[in-house]
Amino acid sequence: MAPPLEDHRMEDEAEEEEQRPLLTRALHRSATNNTSQVAMVGSNPCPIESLDYEIIENDLFDQNWRTRSKVDQVRYVVLKWTFCFAIGVLTGIVGFVINLAVENVSGFKHDAVSALMESTSYWTAFWLFAGSNLVFLLFASSITAFVSPAAGGSGIPEVKAYLNGVDAPNIFSMRTLAVKIAGNIAAVSSSLHVGKAGPMVHTGACIAAIFGQGGSRKYSLTCRWLRYFKNDRDRRDLVTIGAGAGVAAAFRAPVGGVLFALESLSSWWRSALIWRSFFTTAVVAVVLRLFIELCGTGRCGMFGKGGLIMYDVSTIFDDLMTYHLKDIPIVILVGVTGALLGGLYNFLMMKVLRVYNMINERGGAYKLMLAATVSILTSCCVFGLPWLAPCRPCPTNGSPADGICHALNRFRRFQCPPGHYNDLASLFLNINDDAIRNLYSTGTSDVYHPGSMITFFVASYGLGVLSYGVVAPSGLFVPIILTGATYGRLVAMLLGSHSGLDHGLVAILGSASFLGGTIRMTVSVCVIILELTNNLLLLPLVMLVVLISKTVADSFNSSIYDLILQLKGLPHLDGHAEPYMRQLTVGDVVAGPLRSFNGVEKVGNIVHILRTTGHHAFPVVDEPPFSPAPVLYGLVLRAHLLVLLKKREFLAAPERYPKEYVAAGRFLAEDFDKRGSGKQDTIADVQLSSEEMEMYVDLHPLTNTSPYTVVETMSLAKALVLFREVGLRHLLVVPKACDRSPVAGILTRHDFMPEHILGLHPVLLGSRWKRLRWQKGAVAKYFRSLLMWINNSG
């Protein structure tokens, strides 16, 4: 134990070190690092892998491209566009089926409840309403929990992580797709405060990923031309296209779908992808229009013009959709309000999700109990709160004689006498699409009571926070739009004669501001709102309100999808570099020991390293007699080594393969293609005899001879930009000096994560990027500084 004097000296030195500028502090590397590469998919922790977006240039790649004819190249291009067309058609059909099912199931349920209410069978109506909601939600939760946990939630965080380079298990499987569709219909029909848009994005991505599997031996889809897509690069493009198609199917917003994929999902983009994405979303729009016209004759039950979330506010009351310069302060107020509410919404959502995860981790029974609790609570609120609202007479253009209100809105009588309606029931006892359409309607400034708006806003806000964490396919987009429209109309009511804006217009601005405050999108939100409302005159106001809400909300916390990514543990690489990354070089974070292979390696050594490590790539170093001095030849992947071991192309002596080995077809490029999602070879599948373990294998034909490399003195921030922009899985670090080993280490996604870096260098913990966010400790510090300044000045 150190003497007291030495203890004081060490404390003084530590305090002095803390007071020094960050750039001059010593970097004390921690010996331990407890970060994990396990993520939450559904409610199950599972290991995650990265994706290989890099082109592997080796002898097999060169041989494959040399043997491709013009016909193969044309077939590849035609196939890409054919897949885009098929993705658009299927996503459009699935989107129509989901809306058709929700409209009819929910419509029949609400009609039955309304009929019982008109006959004064109030308790029977409640038990029917609550019981059907409970059955629907338990069905959605059961198939999600026991069939495909990866189908839970909206799926947008998982799609965003995949396009960033993270491959979570089973997120795009056929089982996930089926559960996503059926569970989404049941969850939305259960009156739960969730939407269809998020699951539709995941559904479109699933459809696209299935096309990108490159065929299937199980289903006898083994055509040679399907193997063109057996790589992560083309699959990434297809998933991006499918996600944009999902947005287009949910909102009938083809341009908004492309921009949503570009702004919120994709980490990598190119101009050719815009063309294909736009073509796919256009196909979706045409398919949806075809089905809507087909249903216009009444063949689709309760599905009609009200489906697919289209709020056309430009055809009626054009004179009400005007605004003046004096209305700008009101728009600013709506934007700031949306930012504050959005930041609080994200904060509460994270708290609730953490509690729900603790419950869901305890097993399937707890998942169903949680779903049942939320369902009963929701049913009690939705059915009980309208009793607090007063009955209002139908508008003058109605027909009080038969008790039906013929107006823009779908009114509900609930407990009211004929010729009257309950405005709160008209919002609660409708599907979210119809409720939003009611709030967006122009010329309806006197339809809703302010007390009803306050009640509905509080309930919608609270139920939106409580509903998302249930183990069922559920989206955030539509509930956020509904809640934003509610407080937008409420702001217009409270301002009264001080505002000349129509209440429906302010409701639209409220939705845009709440989207900006929670999801933090700008361009795509503007375009989606304009395509939903079919009114280009709203563009300046929507742009202003979204910019204000996003800017102010960024001062409090991150986007809701980014927060969910962090909660799930998915290692998403942000587009910015933290300040401490500029103080570090790549050599400061490279962790050892480094495992490498010789150009001609013994089979037993390869098997031993594959069994004792989890690395997915290994440097290949040529040494004498194959090279006069040790030189880095390239990088070989674990998957390629496993295929090579299974083929058993071994050599009795340490020598290279003859040149005709590759040319003669002893190795075929399709043997080394990337397998479909969730299908990986393991070293346990390789069984070799003791004689074979003593033989040799030449790694040169399979080694990527042009891997991305960086010098060990490069800043970590610069390396992060390269790693993310190119979409790498492995980044080789080479030494500055020539008298050392030709490779110093390998950087992977794990090495760029803040948990890993700050675990190695905890002294940098205080230099994380704050994004000017208001935190309790920072506010207290600034307040104390202000008091001291005032005291000294006095």
Does CATH number 3.40.50.720 belong to domain 65-297?
Answer: no
Q: In terms of Cα–Cα distance, which of 493, 479, 466, 259 is closest to 381?
A: 466
* Per-residue confidence (pLDDT) for residue 13, from 0 to 100: 45
Write down the residue that tokens 């690069």 correspond to: 233
Q: Of residues 332 and 655, which shows the higher confidence score?
A: 332
Q: Of residues 522 and 397, which shows the higher confidence score?
A: 522
- pLDDT-based confidence at 8, cuts 50/70/90? very low
Mean pLDDT for the chain overall: 81
CA distance 147 to 445: 47
Amino acid letter for position 574: D
pTM, whole model, 2 decimals?
0.86
- pLDDT-based confidence at 247, cuts 50/70/90? very high
Q: Of residues 440 and 322, which shows the higher confidence score?
A: 440
Q: What is the pLDDT of residues 38-48, one digit of tens each?
A: 666 666 666 77
Query: Quick one: CATH architecture of 11-63+578-793?
Result: Roll (3.10)
* Per-residue confidence (pLDDT) for residue 44, from 0 to 100: 66
Q: What is the pLDDT of residues 290-347, one digit of tens each?
A: 888 887 777 776 665 444 555 555 544 455 556 667 778 888 999 999 999 999 999 9
Mean pLDDT throughout 99-116? 87
Q: Of residues 744 and 669, which shows the higher confidence score?
A: 744
Least confident range from 92-101, 146-155, 493-502: namely 493-502
Residue 181 has pLDDT above 90, yes or no: yes
Least confident range from 101-105, 223-227, 565-569, 743-747: namely 223-227
* Per-residue confidence (pLDDT) for residue 287, from 0 to 100: 93
Question: Using CA of residue 645, residue 60, residue 725, residue 151, what is the dihedral sign?
Answer: negative
* Per-residue confidence (pLDDT) for residue 519, from 0 to 100: 92
Q: Of residues 788 and 144, which shows the higher confidence score?
A: 144
501 by Cβ neighbours in 10 Å (0-12 / 13-18 / 19+) ranks as: buried
Q: Are 456 and 482 in contact (CB under 8 A)?
A: no
Q: What is the pLDDT of residues 495-548, one digit of tens each?
A: 877 777 788 888 999 999 999 999 988 899 899 888 888 777 788 889 999 999
Give how far the C-alpha of residue 385 lies from the chain's centroid of Cα atoms, to the nearest Å: 34
Amino acid letter for position 257: G
CA distance 177 to 187: 15
* Per-residue confidence (pLDDT) for residue 574, from 0 to 100: 85
Number of alpha carbons in the 13 Å side-chain half-sphere of residue 324: 7
- pLDDT-based confidence at 65, cuts 50/70/90? low
Q: In terms of Cα–Cα distance, which of 528, 484, 533, 534 is closest to 509?
A: 484
Q: In terms of Cα–Cα distance, which of 101, 137, 104 is closest to 466?
A: 137
Residue 68 has pLDDT above 80, yes or no: no
For 634, phi and psi rounded to 5 degrees? 165, -155
Domain boundaries, given as residue ranges, for the chain: 11-63+578-793, 65-297
- pLDDT-based confidence at 663, cuts 50/70/90? low
Q: What is the pLDDT of residues 126-139, one digit of tens each?
A: 999 999 999 999 99
Q: Of residues 62 and 145, which shows the higher confidence score?
A: 145
Residue 371 has pLDDT above 60, yes or no: yes
Q: In 4-102, where do the E strands start and end?
A: 38-41, 44-47, 49-50
Mean pLDDT throughout 767-787? 55
Q: H/E element holding 618?
A: strand 617-622
Q: What is the pLDDT of residues 542-565, one digit of tens each?
A: 999 999 999 999 888 889 999 998
Residue 740 has pLDDT above 90, yes or no: no
Q: Of residues 64 and 783, which shows the higher confidence score?
A: 64
Mean pLDDT throughout 604-611? 90
Q: Of residues 770 and 468, which shows the higher confidence score?
A: 468
Write down the residue that tokens 């006069």 correspond to: 628
